[in-house]
Structure 1
Amino acid sequence: MASSLTRNCTRISKSISLRFMSNLPENTVYGGPKPQNPNQRVTLTHLRQKHRKGEPITWVTAYDYPSAVHLDAAGIDVCLVGDSASMVVHGHDTTLPISLDEMLVHCRAVARGAKRPLLVGDLPFGTYESSTTQAVDTAVRVLKEGEMDAIKLEGGSASRINAAKAIVDAGIAVIGHVGLTPQAISVLGGFRAQGRNIASAVKVVETAMALQEAGCFSVVLECVPPPLAAAATSALNIPTIGIGAGPFCSGQVLVYHDLLGMMQHPHHAKVTPKFCKQYAEVGEVIDKALMDYKEEVSKSLFPAPSHCPYKITKNELDGFLTELQNLGLDKAASAAASAAEKIEPSESRDGAFIAIS
């Protein structure tokens, strides 16, 4: 008995000591802005294991708390907070206008809702091209202020590859992005598929390999022919994530609003990619619900008595009506009495609870 008590005391003592140690054991050290508990959060280790086993990796691009909660519940591996928020959420025609501060707001909202996926934040246009110092500073803000686990940057020019390497050297996980790079539409001549001729196809593969060499742990392949995506996936030792790149990548990513079919407005219709599969028609449901709401309000059908949960007893109502009359507000007292009778006329007569707004 004494021996058992001694063992328990020793165990408690060790636990208390551990809690106050400044140099916590390796398995309790943060792997990013959030505790990377293997049982709760997806980590780079998880993604590498899936890649090694040939298990497809699931990504979804989302921009706010509600969508992040849905991704979390669905068990999606990676949530990308994309600069496509510029088009999807803010209504711009390109990804270029969105600022870093705006992106950080989206990142924090997603981080509050998605507790399981690996969180990746896009570096918006104009925040990492000038120098490696600018790139590292921006990436640090995305992790520290945006609460992301990793960043993604576009393109494969020498300066962007250097930026990727500098960010990796700073201790931040980086994802590359080749093929159609929306931030480069000025030189691409618009949102155009890439890799459709020999030179362009070879360039995509070489750029992906250069990003791998720079230390990227994954590369997004956007809007390229499937054979090219297959070649890049084979040539790389890191996962490729396809978006409009066919089925031969290590994983796939789609935008939350696109895959749910939420884009019913003409603006959204023109920014919804033709490669996207819509797994639902949520936009139509939303449109119908809003029209039904408008009609019911217009016809005074909503709110009905069942939507009036806040009650006042008959005694309190009578006292309220008396006070209104004492204040010379006879018309208001009459309106209140009439409302009470209309909401629950039978209960009004019986002296039970009466609704009043």
Structure 2
Amino acid sequence: MSTHADSKPWTVPALAQAKREGRKLVMLTAYDAGFARTFDANGTDLILIGDSLGMVVQGHDSTLPVTVADMVYHTRAVARVLERALLVADLPFGADATPERALEASLQLLQAGAEMVKIEGAGFKLDIIRHLVEREIPVCSHLGLTPQSVLRLGGFRVQGRGEAAEQLRRDAAAAVDAGAALVVLECVPSPLAAQITAEIAAPTIGIGAGPGCDGQVLVMHDFLGLDSGHRRPKFVKDFLAEGGSIAGAARAYADAVRNGSFPDADHAYAQ
């Protein structure tokens, strides 16, 4: 049974404590009450209402069309059923363009039941993080491949290789300095992600960032082996195939993250 012995609800300070104690964090996306309830009861520590819903729920080619209203709707649905997992919600594209817009969107998400908001990127976003944290809103920073930047990046590509590695290290340190309590690293070479994890005080959650992160996240549809209509990234693994049921898949995923067997080399990127 993969549910952690400590059944108390997760809090933001508990995330940092887990890092200090070397306990791996298990995160999955969910977009409705049914899946969220199952994940919550079977070992998932954090639930992410990802703007990935634009692609896997709404059928768009990117996350860009997702609105704050979309995020609030799905956040409310998931928040109603959670008993243990910490609920994180994405600020969708454009919602964090200014401190004022980010604050308004974040307030809506927290009032809908989120306990933390996630912001993609660094640069001017560091001021946004600081602005929110100063107003008692917990923030997760998302670095590496940032899907909201797909037009500028020219597609979904591994980030942080070569000379870009040092910038990514600086960005992670700066995000934590600005107040981020959690850092998601997406599509980052495993050695770099492990280095960043060792350097910053906040826990890191990897998605295509190797086993050296403090935890892992997968999009729900990917970890259940569903066809999203898009190319499956290297880091995706079908846990439903070995779990036998949705609850079993959640337990299998949680066990694999905690015992270090996922991700392995086949589900990570080299330097």
TM-score bucket of the superposed structures, by smaller chain: 0.7 to 0.9
1:255 aligns with 2:215: no
Choose the corresponding residue for 2:180, options 210, 213, 216.
216
In structure 1, what is the equivalent of residue 119 of structure 2? 153
Inter-CA distance 82–271: structure 2 relative to 1 (3 Å threshold):
farther
**1:115-126, aligned counterparts within 5 Å?**
115-126=83-94
Once the two structures are TM-superposed, the CA of residue 273 in structure 1 deviates from its matched residue by: 2.3
Q: Which runs of 4+ in 1 moved over 2 A?
A: 271-274
1:142 aligns with 2:102: no
In structure 2, what is the equivalent of residue 352 of structure 1? none
Once the two structures are TM-superposed, the CA of residue 45 in structure 1 deviates from its matched residue by: 2.4
Q: What TM-score results when the alignment is normalised by the length of structure 1?
A: 0.65
Separation in structure 1 between the aligned mates of residue 53 and residue 60 of structure 2, nearest angstrom: 9
In structure 2, what is the equivalent of residue 11 of structure 1? none
Does the CA contact (< 8 Å) of 2:16 and 2:201 recur in 1?
A: no
The alignment of Structure 1 onto Structure 2 pairs a total of residues equal to 240
Give the counterpart letter for 2:130 in structure 1.
K
Once the two structures are TM-superposed, the CA of residue 285 in structure 1 deviates from its matched residue by: 9.6
Inter-CA distance 285–210: structure 2 relative to 1 (3 Å threshold):
closer
Once the two structures are TM-superposed, the CA of residue 161 in structure 1 deviates from its matched residue by: 0.6
Once the two structures are TM-superposed, the CA of residue 269 in structure 1 deviates from its matched residue by: 4.1
In structure 2, what is the equivalent of residue 189 of structure 1? 154
**1:122-133, aligned counterparts within 5 Å?**
122-129=90-97, 131-133=98-100
Does the CA contact (< 8 Å) of 1:71 and 1:114 recur in 2?
A: no
In structure 2, what is the equivalent of residue 109 of structure 1? 77
Question: Secondary structure of the residue that 1:231 maps to in structure 2?
Answer: helix
Separation in structure 2 between the aligned mates of residue 243 and residue 203 of structure 1, nearest angstrom: 19
Q: What TM-score results when the alignment is normalised by the length of structure 2?
A: 0.85
Question: Secondary structure of the residue that 2:74 maps to in structure 1?
Answer: helix
Q: Find the structure with the greater CA-based Rg.
A: 1
In structure 1, what is the equivalent of residue 233 of structure 2? 273
Give the counterpart letter for 2:122 in structure 1.
G
Choose the corresponding residue for 2:24, options 50, 56, 71.
56
In structure 1, what is the equivalent of residue 258 of structure 2? none
Separation in structure 2 between the aligned mates of residue 124 and residue 239 of structure 1, nearest angstrom: 22
Separation in structure 2 between the aligned mates of residue 79 and residue 49 of structure 1, nearest angstrom: 18
Separation in structure 2 between the aligned mates of residue 220 and residue 44 of structure 1, nearest angstrom: 15
CA-to-partner distance for each residue in 1:22-67, whole Å, 9 max, x for gaps? Answer: xxxxxxxxxxxxxxxx964111122122111111111111111111
Inter-CA distance 272–64: structure 2 relative to 1 (3 Å threshold):
farther
Of 38-47 and 87-96, deviating more is 38-47
Choose the corresponding residue for 1:178, options 112, 134, 143.
143
Give the counterpart letter for 1:74 in structure 2.
N
Does the CA contact (< 8 Å) of 1:175 and 1:217 recur in 2?
A: yes
Once the two structures are TM-superposed, the CA of residue 277 in structure 1 deviates from its matched residue by: 1.2
Separation in structure 2 between the aligned mates of residue 204 and residue 236 of structure 1, nearest angstrom: 12
1:68 aligns with 2:28: no
Does the CA contact (< 8 Å) of 2:7 and 2:84 recur in 1?
A: no
- Unpaired segments of 5 or more residues in structure 1? 1-37, 287-357
Once the two structures are TM-superposed, the CA of residue 257 in structure 1 deviates from its matched residue by: 1.4
Give the counterpart letter for 1:133 in structure 2.
E
Choose the corresponding residue for 2:170, options 192, 206, 209.
206
CA RMSD in angstroms comes to: 1.8
Question: Secondary structure of the residue that 1:97 maps to in structure 2?
Answer: coil
Does the CA contact (< 8 Å) of 1:262 and 1:281 recur in 2?
A: no
Identity %, equivalent residues: 44
Larger fraction in helix: 1
Once the two structures are TM-superposed, the CA of residue 272 in structure 1 deviates from its matched residue by: 3.3
Separation in structure 1 between the aligned mates of residue 133 and residue 53 of structure 2, nearest angstrom: 25
In structure 2, what is the equivalent of residue 20 of structure 1? none
CA-to-partner distance for each residue in 1:86-137, whole Å, 9 max, x for gaps? Answer: 00100001000011101111111111122210000000001111x2111111
In structure 2, what is the equivalent of residue 320 of structure 1? none
Does the CA contact (< 8 Å) of 1:122 and 1:152 recur in 2?
A: yes
CA-to-partner distance for each residue in 1:269-317, whole Å, 9 max, x for gaps? Answer: 42532211111149x999xxxxxxxxxxxxxxxxxxxxxxxxxxxxxxx
Once the two structures are TM-superposed, the CA of residue 187 in structure 1 deviates from its matched residue by: 1.1
Separation in structure 2 between the aligned mates of residue 186 and residue 231 of structure 1, nearest angstrom: 28
Separation in structure 1 between the aligned mates of residue 80 and residue 134 of structure 2, nearest angstrom: 28
Give the counterpart letter for 1:112 in structure 2.
R
Separation in structure 2 between the aligned mates of residue 255 and residue 285 of structure 1, nearest angstrom: 17
Separation in structure 1 between the aligned mates of residue 101 and residue 230 of structure 2, nearest angstrom: 33
